[in-house]
Amino acid sequence: MTSIPIATIIGVLVIGGGVAGCSASVRNSPTPPAAQEPLEQGSPQAQTTLEPTEKPEVSLNGWSIYTDRQNRFSFSYPPAFGTPSQGTNNGIGDRVAAIRFSEFSSGIHDGKIVLGGEAALTRGFVLVDIQALGGLYDSITLDVFPDTLRNSILSNLPVLTTTDFCGELAKGHHIDMNRPVFSSLDQQLRDAIAKMDQVRSIDPEVIRCDVVGDTVTFHKEAAYEAGQFKSRQNIYGAIRFLESPFSSFQLVRATAEAPTQEMLRDMTSVVESFR
């Protein structure tokens, strides 16, 4: 199995699952803002605002309709989300498309730090933004691994479906590093991967996890640690499981504050509107 410098893994863990590299820089920042909780992914200092690639239409209920330039999909979103633009790792790997919103996605809104909030369309193995189910289920965090190790990790994680999503959301651990497939790794690396599995999944408490048809709406609290920083964060959103060639359409956020029911309802409506 391809080796990987342990310092690279440790560096990722220090910034809470952020990935070193240009492809992830727009959603990750190694230095949390002073006097704020260390909400590292998608911090406003690292954001690059792009011009919208599609001009939205307006539906009868006043929501805007986003249509992909290649006509692969469309969805609706409330005007309060602001202007859409290209999101993190748009079109890279199994992240088919990512759309950020000027007033809803990562940044400082109403004086509060927001992470995530991008609409993401995926294919292949279902991964979830903002380490909602730990760092090993996050596509950008996984970019730190060489392909061989990344594939081994994915093949030993439970496959997410509407049936088991809520159960995995409630877990602090999702992978057994004592399996034979990982025996060639030294203990330090196995420990580091296990720790990455716990990013945003330490002492998780599921506040809500509702499954309606092919859509899951969820909200959990979990302890977050980055170096000496420790806090509890709220990770929430909605994910819709899709048929091939896609696998999911999702909208996930992390904030220090709990989401309102209206916000969760809107996020669910966005993913359910995918066509």
Tell me what pLDDT residue 225 has.
77
Residue 82, domain member (yes or no)? yes
178 three-state secondary structure: coil
Domain enclosing residue 261, as ranges: 6-272
Residue 60, pLDDT score = 57
Tell me what pLDDT residue 4 has. Answer: 54
pLDDT at 230: 81
Separation between Cα atoms, residue 131 and residue 7, nearest integer Å: 21
Please count the structural domains in the chain. 1
**Residue 1: inside a domain:** no
Residue 231 maps to a domain = yes
As given in the structure block, the two tokens for residue 151 are: 């594939």
Within-domain flag for 252: yes
Instruction: Note the pLDDT of residue 215.
Output: 98
Q: Does the residue 247 lie in any domain? A: yes
* DSSP per-residue codes, 55-112: PPEE-TTS-EEEE-TTSS-EEEE-GGG--EEE-TTTTSTTEEEEEEETTTSSEEETTE
> pLDDT tens across 19-35, in order?
323 333 334 333 333 33
* Predicted pLDDT of residue 31: 31
SS3 track for 218-254 = EEEEEEEEECCEEEEEEEEEEEEECCCCCCEEEEEEE
pLDDT single digits (tens) 252-269: 999 999 999 999 999 999
Contact yes or no for 219/236 (Cβ under 8 A): yes
Low-confidence residues of the chain, pLDDT below 50?
1-2, 10, 12-53
In a domain, 191, yes or no: yes
